[in-house]
């Protein structure tokens, strides 16, 4: 959704966030006021916060099952984790971010918006302290963090068997999959698939690559999923 007027944005935001729209509006206002000064977004992004960042992130909830735990790696300004938590209060969201000033921002946002389902953890995905804290996650998300192979190396170990990495990607998603398919398999990932989110409401839907953890790194089979495990992410 690009170059749309404010009325269009308001209608889409209302459809995506429902009765929690006020929290989304407050989040956008906080980003607009503090984002550039605190190094969270570039100056050119202020006028594109709704369509390029917040709505783009929130619609990823379409591929997440009810009540799953989500770990958002390299959360930065809180994307996609904060919009997801606002749009989907059933999710338990952990925001992982290594930079202290960004962690401070995330803590402030979580408190201001009263997002009781969100926890902020300082660190990198590969840090042992982070791994210990979040290992066994249902879903790991990442937006503009790293190429697919590197991302799988960081994120797949955090997932339970049958859990899924949901990586927000752009037009290069298919090329990344083709380039990194063997590395993904070696790291314990299943066949990557491309999903489109928000097609019903966004002019430019969000493209995600979904990779299920099926093996441990090195190829050892993980236990099969139980019936309870099925549906941590939607097909």
The class of domain 6-212 in CATH terms is alpha beta
CA distance 92 to 60: 15
Contact 83, 70 (CB under 8 A): no
For residue 55, report the phi and psi dihedrals to the nearest 5 degrees.
-65, -40
- Full-model pTM: 0.89
Residue 4 confidence class, pLDDT cut points 50, 70, 90: very low
Contact 82, 193 (CB under 8 A): no
In the chain the first and final C-alpha atoms are separated, in Å, by 25
H-helix or E-strand spanning residue 13: helix 6-17
Give the chain's radius of gyration (CA, Å).
17
- Look at residue 233 and tell me whether its pLDDT is greater than 90: no
H-helix or E-strand spanning residue 26: helix 21-34
Beta bridge partners of 166: 141, 210
- Mention every residue, 6+ apart, whose C-beta is less than 8 A from residue 161: 213, 214, 222, 223, 224, 225, 229
- Look at residue 232 and tell me whether its pLDDT is greater than 70: no
H-helix or E-strand spanning residue 37: none
Residue 226 confidence class, pLDDT cut points 50, 70, 90: very low
Q: Note the pLDDT tens digit of each residue in 162-201.
A: 999 999 998 889 999 999 999 999 999 999 999 999 999 9
> What residue has token string 């937006």?
143
Q: How far, rounded to the nearest angstrom, does the alpha carbon of residue 108 sit from its chain's CA centroid?
A: 19
- Mention every residue, 6+ apart, whose C-beta is less than 8 A from residue 87: 16, 17, 18, 20, 24, 58, 61
pLDDT at 7: 62
- Of 11, 39, 41, 15, give the one whose Cα is nearest residue 28: 41
Contact 119, 149 (CB under 8 A): no
pLDDT at 171: 87
Q: Note the pLDDT tens digit of each residue in 73-124.
A: 999 999 999 999 999 999 999 999 999 999 999 999 999 999 999 999 999 9
For residue 35, report the phi and psi dihedrals to the nearest 5 degrees.
-60, -45
Residue 221 confidence class, pLDDT cut points 50, 70, 90: very low
Q: Order of strands, edge to edge, in the sheet holding 92-97?
A: 118-122, 92-97, 69-73, 137-143, 159-169, 206-212, 193-197
The mean of the pLDDT values for the chain is 90
Q: Are strands 69-73 and 92-97 parallel, antiparallel or unpaired?
A: parallel
pLDDT at 231: 52
> What residue has token string 């408190």?
111
CA atoms within 13 A on the CB side of 140: 30
CA distance 159 to 206: 23
pLDDT at 222: 46
pLDDT at 228: 39
Q: Which residue has the higher pLDDT, 235 or 206?
A: 206
Residue 223 three-state SS: coil
Q: Note the pLDDT tens digit of each residue in 33-62.
A: 999 999 899 998 888 899 899 999 999 999
> Once rounded to an integer, what is the mean pLDDT over residues 17-24?
97
């Amino acid at each position: 959704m690009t170059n749309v007027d404010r009325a269009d944005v308001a209608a889409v935001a209302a459809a995506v966030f429902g009765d929690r729209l006020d929290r989304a509006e407050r989040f956008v206002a906080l980003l607009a006021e503090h984002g550039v000064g605190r190094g969270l977004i570039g100056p050119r992004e202020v006028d594109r916060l709704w369509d390029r960042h917040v709505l783009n992130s929130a619609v990823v909830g379409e591929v997440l099952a009810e009540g799953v735990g989500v770990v958002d790696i390299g959360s930065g300004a809180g994307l996609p984790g904060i919009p997801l938590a606002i749009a989907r209060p059933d999710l338990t969201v952990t925001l992982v971010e290594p930079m202290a000033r960004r962690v401070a921002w995330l803590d402030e946002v979580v408190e201001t918006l009263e997002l009781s389902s969100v926890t902020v953890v300082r660190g990198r995905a590969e840090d042992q302290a982070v791994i210990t804290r979040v290992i066994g996650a249902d879903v790991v998300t990442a937006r503009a963090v790293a190429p697919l192979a590197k991302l799988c190396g960081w994120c797949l170990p955090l997932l339970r068997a049958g859990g899924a990495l949901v990586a927000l990607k752009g037009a290069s998603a298919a090329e990344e999959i083709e380039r990194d398919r063997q590395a993904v398999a070696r790291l314990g990932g299943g066949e990557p698939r491309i999903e489109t989110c928000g097609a019903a409401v966004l002019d430019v839907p969000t493209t995600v690559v979904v990779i299920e953890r099926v093996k441990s790194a090195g190829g050892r089979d993980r236990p099969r999923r139980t019936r309870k495990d099925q549906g941590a992410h939607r097909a």
